Structure 1
Amino acid sequence: MDGGISRLYEVKEKVGSGSFGTVWKAIDRRTRQVIALKRVAGVLRNARSAQKIYREVEFVKIFSKHPNIVSLLDVHVAANSLDVYLALEFMDSDLRKFIRGGQLRREYIPAVMAQLLQGMQFVHSGNIIHRDLKPANILINRNHQARISDFGLARSITSEYTGNDPVLTQYCGTTWYLAPEALLGSKWYTVSADMWSLGLILGEMLTGKPIFTGDSQMGVMESILSSVSCPAPRDLVRLFPRHAQWIHSFRPGQLRPLKRILQRQPQEAADLVIRLLHINPNERPTADQALRHPCVASYRKRWPMFDRDVKLRVPDTALLQCGEYRDLIRRIENKMESMKRVSHVKI
């Protein structure tokens, strides 16, 4: 642990780790607030990873205004100039652990889903796509308050193109939760890909296990085609020109119709899952439309939305040097610290 960070935070226990960071439960020595301290080691050593942590910091800072997005409290570049620490709102667990541990109470599932839809409605109103929605990236408390986190793969869908060249990369997120258009390598997908992921998250909350699995992207696609009805051949050619023939000719060894997978679940919740899991992205409801569904409508709350496109200072088309990303993050660090000092001044 960086010495300067240790002077700011009293680390209590490790609560999680993954490919992009380690998280501890800690106490802010200045405010005595319990926080989640996320260390991303060596992230400023490589331009691509530095770009990702910069996006993570910027997007979470912007979206923290919404109650269903995790709040960014502080950001720090370590003394070694390679590690980045994020001080985040502390949540008890993540949805993946909640589901696997049997802590998710069934009667709260519609309320949790409504919170996720509200969070993504806010994000999508700024024309941003998350691209990595999965249970492990949904933070949750024992009272079933949910927060969306991990925006490192998020992208703008208004400024991602220069001429005819898309900037959306083929890989995004965990394969099991990717929409078909992302699995098949499309670079032109939209916020409807997030809606597919939300459908899978709701399905997993209901059944207790992932809906579609596979050892590869095509393996997951085969799992999808074994359960979900295909669009008409004419639509397939338009939606998936490089894979339309393969999809049309695919003959699953074992059918697992989605309705059968969900047959023991509450009818309204199962219907919302089925509506969200359309192979044709144009047929999936938006977050606003999904919030009107009977499964979640009674939990809907109205929050202000963006009236403009959310754009970062560095466009997605640009890849800066590591030092430039370090300077950008330090600028955010200094600005947040300055705003805290101003808020503490007594008038």
Structure 2
Amino acid sequence: LESLGKGAFGDVYKAREKYTGKSFALKIVPSPREVMALSDLLHRNIVRYFACWVDDIGYQGGGSETDSYSSTQSSSDNLSRKYLYIQMELCKAVTLREWIGDKNTQRDFKRKESLTIAQQIASGVEYIHSKNLVHRDLKPANIMFGQDGEVKIGDFGLVTADNDYDAGNLMERTLYKGTPSYMAPEQSRKTYDRKVDIFACGLIFFELLWKFSTGHEKQAVWHNVRKQNFPQEFVHDFLQEYSIIKPMLCLKPEDRPEAKALKKDLEECICRLNAHEIDGHSSRSV
């Protein structure tokens, strides 16, 4: 029906299943890695997988060369190359990146809403890690919202197996896989584990709470936050969240919390915020 996005690891379209009339997201990729992971994942905060199939050619998007896989390949390439079609849950068009952009322009800031989003991300990451997987490319552009508004982690094009923390015998990795501004420091080395996802989450959670007025400001603050140097105003205004986020950005991966503990901390933070709101309403009513 329409293009939803294009990236280095595949193109995504909105498609309608003829027999049911239901709409889905259809991703076309040249590698089976993503579907192998998605087929094992079933969680409310992860984009749901339904089915997949292989075809010899990519989708001819309206006959346009820019919308077509196969038209950009030679005829000999098309004969040997296979394309994997992945049928997935259709999410809302707005990603977390757009949500954050809108938040930065709004006067009224919804702290609890940001914390709820962070808690749902942590819940999804906890589940991914429980399946012995590492996402490796967590960032706002890869986090979406379902039709019911719940957070949905997507884009598993860089997913890989975890090491399960076995006696320091870390698996060798491909260097620099991920998005540089959200990558953990150790992703420049060949050995790392699931704690790279925790580092990325720490940056995302900070971004959910802090307003950037300009891109230049973000660049300056971002560099410092990656080194655990937070704006003083952030520490003052978000002391509870600061105590959660700072350990997530530890240079040493072993010093970062597990996703399970992170989810629990965020849940407790939301509960304290709710209790404070109730106390505030009670005081005003008296």
Q: Same fold judged by TM-score > 0.5?
A: yes
Kept in 1, the 8 Å contact 2:5–2:12? The answer is: yes
Alignment of 1:84 with 2:84, yes or no, is yes
Show structure 1 runs of 5+ residues with no match: 1-10, 44-52, 215-219, 230-256, 301-347
Which residue identity is paired with 1:266?
F
Which residue identity is paired with 1:228?
K
Name the Cα RMSD after superposition: 3.0
For residues 192 and 160 of structure 1, the distance between their equivalents in structure 2, rounded to whole angstroms, comes to 10
Deviations 1:284-309 (A, max 9, x none): 1111111221x333779xxxxxxxxx
Of 282, 302, 312, which aligns to 2:254? Answer: 282
Pairwise CA distance, 1:32 = 1.8
Kept in 1, the 8 Å contact 2:132–2:164? The answer is: no
Show structure 2 runs of 5+ residues with no match: 58-80, 272-286
Of 57, 73, 80, which aligns to 2:50? Answer: 73
Pairwise CA distance, 1:201 = 0.8
Q: TM-score, normalised by structure 2?
A: 0.72
Query: Higher RCO, 1 or 2 (CA under 8 Å, sep at least 6)?
Result: 1
Pairwise CA distance, 1:167 = 3.1
Kept in 2, the 8 Å contact 1:128–1:157? The answer is: yes
SS at the partner of 1:17?
Answer: strand
Pairwise CA distance, 1:134 = 0.8
For residues 299 and 74 of structure 1, the distance between their equivalents in structure 2, rounded to whole angstroms, comes to 36
Q: 2:174 is matched with which residue?
A: 169
| CA separation of 1:261 and 1:186: change in aligned 2, threshold 3 A | farther
Pairwise CA distance, 1:36 = 1.2
Q: TM-score, normalised by structure 1?
A: 0.61
Of 174, 192, 197, which aligns to 1:189? Answer: 192
Of 218, 235, 238, which aligns to 1:266? Answer: 238
Kept in 1, the 8 Å contact 2:240–2:269? The answer is: no
Equivalent pairs, count: 237
SS at the partner of 1:297?
Answer: helix
Which residue identity is paired with 1:91?
C
Pairwise CA distance, 1:208 = 4.3
Which residue identity is paired with 2:37?
F
SS at the partner of 2:176?
Answer: coil
Q: 2:19 is matched with which residue?
A: 30
For residues 17 and 237 of structure 2, the distance between their equivalents in structure 1, rounded to whole angstroms, comes to 43
Map residues 5-16 of structure 1 onto 2, 5 A cutoff: 11=1, 13-16=2-5
Kept in 1, the 8 Å contact 2:203–2:226? The answer is: no
Kept in 2, the 8 Å contact 1:132–1:173? The answer is: yes
Map residues 1-347 of structure 1 onto 2, 5 A cutoff: 11=1, 13-40=2-29, 43=30, 53-63=31-41, 65-80=42-57, 82-92=82-92, 93-102=94-103, 105-141=110-146, 144-158=149-163, 166-182=171-187, 185-208=188-211, 213=219, 223-224=223-224, 228=227, 257-260=229-232, 262-263=234-235, 265-293=237-265, 295-297=266-268
For residues 111 and 191 of structure 1, the distance between their equivalents in structure 2, rounded to whole angstroms, comes to 22
Kept in 2, the 8 Å contact 1:176–1:213? The answer is: no
Pairwise CA distance, 1:78 = 2.2
| CA separation of 1:280 and 1:167: change in aligned 2, threshold 3 A | closer
